[in-house]
Amino acid sequence: MVRSAATLGRSGVHDFVLLRASALVLASYLIFLVGYLVCTPQLTFDVWQGLFAGTAMKVYTLLALLSLLIHGWIGLWQVLTDYVKPVGLRAFLQLTVNLVLLAYLSAGVVILWGV
Q: Which domains does the chain have, with CATH numbers?
A: 12-113 (1.20.1300.10)
DSSP string computed for 12-41 = HHHHHHHHHHHHHHHHHHHHHHHHHHHH-S
Neighbours of 100 (CB within 10 A): 12
Evaluate if residue 5 carries a pLDDT over 80: no
Whole-number Å distance between alpha carbons of 52 and 76 = 29
Query: pLDDT tens-digit profile of 19-73?
Result: 999 999 999 999 999 999 999 999 999 999 999 999 999 999 999 999 999 999 9
83 annotated to a ligand binding site: yes
Evaluate the CA torsion angle 83, 99, 66, 14 in order and state its sign. Answer: positive
The reply to whether 104 sits in an annotated binding site is: no
What number of other Cβ atoms are within 10 A of residue 44's Cβ? Answer: 9
